[in-house]
């Protein structure tokens, strides 16, 4: 189990790096970073719940991504002040977009499919 957690920790770090780099490369579409954010959430959930089936991890990850995205519709001053910071912007996002929901879904389904294909 420790080896699995170490592996998922490495994947989390690599995904974060790729996501941040994707925002610096102007010719990459923004949805790549959003897709990678969904992938990162999958790896975080899997890191916490190593023994959960991948289907459950994907479902939990999707729910978490959707909650964070829909939370962007809430515009109280205190949460907007958090969103103005770099960590707040990276974790909570800045504004609701339906296309982000699609990007998260694609990212999570992609990593779920890759993991399941590698198992077989």
Local structure of residue 38 (DSSP, 8 states):
H
According to the model, what pLDDT value does residue 96 have? 93
Task: Please answer whether residues 36 and 15 qualify as being in contact, where contact means their C-beta atoms are separated by less than 8 angstroms.
Answer: yes
What digits encode the pLDDT tens for the residues 55-90? Answer: 999 999 999 999 999 999 999 999 999 999 988 888
Q: Which residues contact 118 (CB under 8 A, 6 or more apart)?
A: none
User: Which of 54, 58, 20, 8 is closest to 38 using CA atoms?
Assistant: 58
Name the residue range of residue 97's domain. 2-119
Write the DSSP symbol of residue 97.
Answer: -
Q: What is the pLDDT of residue 77?
A: 94
Query: Residue 93 pLDDT more than 90?
Result: no
Radius of gyration of the chain (CA): 15
Span 100-114, average pLDDT: 97
Its pTM surpasses 0.85: yes
**What average pLDDT does the chain have?**
93
Structure tokens at 71: 């939370």
CA distance 74 to 51: 34
* Rounded distance between C-alpha atoms, residue 19 and residue 36, angstroms: 6
Alpha helices in 27-76 (DSSP H): 30-48, 54-71
The pLDDT score that the predictor gives to residue 94 is: 86
């Amino acid at each position: 189990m420790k080896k699995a957690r170490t592996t998922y920790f490495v994947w989390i770090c690599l995904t974060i790096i790729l996501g941040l780099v994707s925002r610096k490369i102007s010719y990459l579409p923004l949805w790549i970073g959003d897709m990678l954010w969904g992938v990162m959430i999958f790896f975080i959930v899997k890191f916490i719940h190593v023994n959960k089936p991948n289907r459950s991890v994907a479902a939990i990850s999707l729910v978490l991504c959707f909650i964070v995205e829909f939370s962007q519709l809430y515009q109280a001053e205190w949460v907007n002040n958090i969103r103005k910071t770099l960590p707040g912007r990276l974790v909570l996002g800045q504004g609701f977009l339906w296309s982000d929901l699609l990007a998260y879904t694609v990212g999570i389904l992609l990593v779920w499919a890759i993991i399941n294909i590698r198992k077989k």
